[in-house]
Amino acid sequence: MDWLEQLRWDERGLIPAIAQDHESGEVLMVAWMNRESLAETAETGRAVYYSRSRRRLWRKGEESGHVQRVHELRVDCDQDVVLLKVAQLGGIACHTGRRSCFYLRLEDGEWRAVEPVLKDPDAIYGKESP
């Protein structure tokens, strides 16, 4: 059986994908993959996701230059979540200019940014980013 067919894709043909730093174990981001993006990732060693908002493949770093080099691909026990162990080139995974997308922490009933912006998103993308 084809390794892609062994996975449990959702009704849209997507599977969640977690990007984790291959050295530190830090979770950098969560995105979605379809069969095409996962196959390309496995073939090239570069993280490729599926953008639900753009409805197309999203090669991580295509605009920002912050590419993810994949060291290892894993799947969970239910085969419905993919884990990518990556090297985050440029040190920034989040479109907000932070190392990780998980920079908000719940404190006293409010979400507070607890990680610094490493690079202004305007400087990365040349436009205003959230």
SS (H, E, C) the chain: CCCCCCCCCCCCCCEEEEEEECCCCCEEEEEEECHHHHHHHHHHCECEEEECCCCEEEECCCCCCCCEEEEEEEECCCCCCEEEEEEEHHHCCCCCCCCCCCCEEEECCEEEECCCCCCCHHHHHCCCCC
CA atoms within 13 A on the CB side of 78: 7
State phi, psi for 25 to the nearest 5 degrees. Answer: 85, 0
Q: Is residue 29 part of a domain?
A: yes
- pLDDT, average across residues 98-103: 96
- Domain coverage including residue 57: 15-125
Phi/psi-derived region of residue 20, left when phi > 0, alpha when psi is between -120 and 50, beta in every other case:
beta
7 within domain boundaries: no
The answer to the question of residue 80 being in a domain is: yes
91 close to 110: Cβ distance less than 8 angstroms: no
> What pLDDT does residue 1 have?
63
The model's pLDDT over 8-58, given as tens digits with 9 standing for 90+, comes to: 999 999 999 999 999 999 999 999 999 999 999 999 999 999 999 999 999
Give residue 126's pLDDT: 78
Query: If phi over 0 gives left and psi between -120 and 50 gives alpha, with beta otherwise, what is residue 61?
Result: left
45-94 pLDDT, tens digit per residue, is 999 999 999 999 999 999 899 999 999 999 999 999 999 999 999 999 99
What's the total number of domains in the chain?
1
pLDDT for position 125: 86
In a domain, 108, yes or no: yes
For residue 6, being part of any structural domain is answered with no
Q: Is the pLDDT of residue 129 over 50?
A: no
Q: Provide the CATH number for the domain around residue 25.
A: 3.10.20.810
Domain presence at residue 119 = yes
- Is residue 2 included in any domain, yes or no? no
Evaluate whether residue 88 is within a structural domain. Answer: yes
**pTM confidence score:** 0.91
